[in-house]
A and B are shown apart, each in its own frame.
Chain A
Amino acid sequence: MDFIPGGELSRRIREGDVSAESELIRQFEPGLRVLLRRRTGGDHGLLQDLVQETLLVVIQRLRGVGIDDPQKLAAFAAQTARNLAIASLRKAERQKTDVDSEATERKPDSSRGVESQVGDHEAALAVRALLRELPQARDRLMLKRFYLEDHDKEQICQEMQLTEAAFNQALSRARRRFRQILEERGFAKRDLLNLGL
């Protein structure tokens, strides 16, 4: 489906076009998930809530007073999501019994506890399946260094005596297979269905 510019979406929503609201959700939902996933530290429930809340706020704003520069609708939605994520963090910090006045100034921590990380069981299961399928220990080790230890490509290639092309090829294969496993098991689609606005 084609991308509809923010100006046009804003105008149509202002005029009461419900299909434009659906289009806005289709266009923005994946990007909002990316943005908010980074700010919710793997808390799947919070991520879903904030995506829905952002979309509701944006749509209500467009139905009402509108935004200053409709051409920058995506930037407006992104900033709305960031603000909601910060507000959510502040709320969570306030609920703590011990008051930490610096907490509200901190950025959301992407390395929160195990309990908040468990929302993405599917990704863990898919990674396990992926690792089982990889025939070579070298590939598993390479992925471990890249995704877990955050080594950069050059360092990994040097240490493991790999060419950059071989590294990229193995990485690309792993990504394709991971995506395929998730899609085969319906996990990716289920995430979309969860967004029942």
Chain B
Amino acid sequence: MNQQQLIEQYVAGTLAEAEAEAFEVSCLEDVELARQVEFEQRLKAGFEQVARGSTAEFVRSESTLSWRLAAAASVVLFLCAAVYLWQRLPGAHPQVLAALTSTMEQDGPSLRLALVRGAESAPRLPAGEVRVEIVGLFDPGSDYSVMLDRLRQQRETANIATLHGQHPTSPVTLEIMVDSDQLAPGTYSLRVIKQASDEEALDFIFEK
């Protein structure tokens, strides 16, 4: 067995315990070997973490044209939304969005929003008080704003509500409540922005 195979088997956990322990001692005696193993461990861990969000990252289409179009559309959409919001105070219907306040809310209807590359259809918001679980990488020490916009034809957006000062429930999850019954059928955008930061916003689309 060559060194690369040993590394792969150690990281995959398929080496026998005695062999694994001997290999660990070799890592303590060889800094470069240890670094190679650690990169392999982190590569595997990175894949596992990415896959927890969605496996769509691995099977996206090879066409880049659609991505460029989508990116361009997102920029246009963002500019329209920014201009519109600039001219109008947000929060016209603040009761549509609410912070998650009780564990009881875990039992009701829910919707999981994750960045799914190449997804062909937007998820559908169920009826009632819906717990929306937003998946991304969040800083637990920071506040986030969540903006709910309705997307209309001719690239218009209408802000429905904005919720400030939201804390992630975990470093990979931010949860809010959406009162689905107050929303008319249509396409909506949910934007998550880290407050006091220039970090890129997370944008999700869903249907009602």
Contacts and interface: CB of A to CB of B under 8 A. Distances in A.
Given A77-B28, A141-B59, A150 B12 contact: yes
Interface residues of B, number: 42
Given A115-B171, A127-B43, A30 B27 contact: yes
A56 B156 CA distance: 62
B38 A30 contact: yes
B35 A30 contact: yes
B51 A120 contact: no
B170 to A, nearest CB: 5
B50 A128 contact: yes
Contact of A34 (B38, B51, B59, B171): B38
Nearest to B62: A137
Given A26-B31, A31-B34, A141 B58 contact: yes
Contacts of A82: 21
Q: Is the interface of A mostly helix, strand, loop or mixed?
A: helix
B41 A131 contact: no
Interface residues of A, number: 49
Interface string A9-36: 0000000000000000011101111110
Contact of B60 (A74, A137, A175): A137
B101 to A, nearest CB: 21
Nearest to A179: B39
Contacts of A182: 39, 42
A124 B49 contact: yes
A118 interface: yes
Nearest to A124: B49
Contacts of A115: 170-171
A195 interface: no
A88 interface: no
B172 interface: yes
A144 B162 CA distance: 38
Interface of B: 10, 12-13, 21, 24-25, 27-31, 33-35, 37-52, 55, 57-62, 137, 170-173
17 contacts: A3-B29, A27-B28, A34-B24, A34-B27, A34-B41, A35-B24, A42-B45, A78-B25, A117-B45, A123-B45, A125-B46, A127-B46, A127-B50, A140-B60, A141-B59, A147-B47, A148-B55
Interface of A: 3, 26-28, 30-35, 37-38, 42, 74-75, 77-78, 82, 110, 114-115, 117-118, 120-128, 131, 135-137, 140-141, 143-144, 147-148, 150, 174-175, 178-179, 182, 188
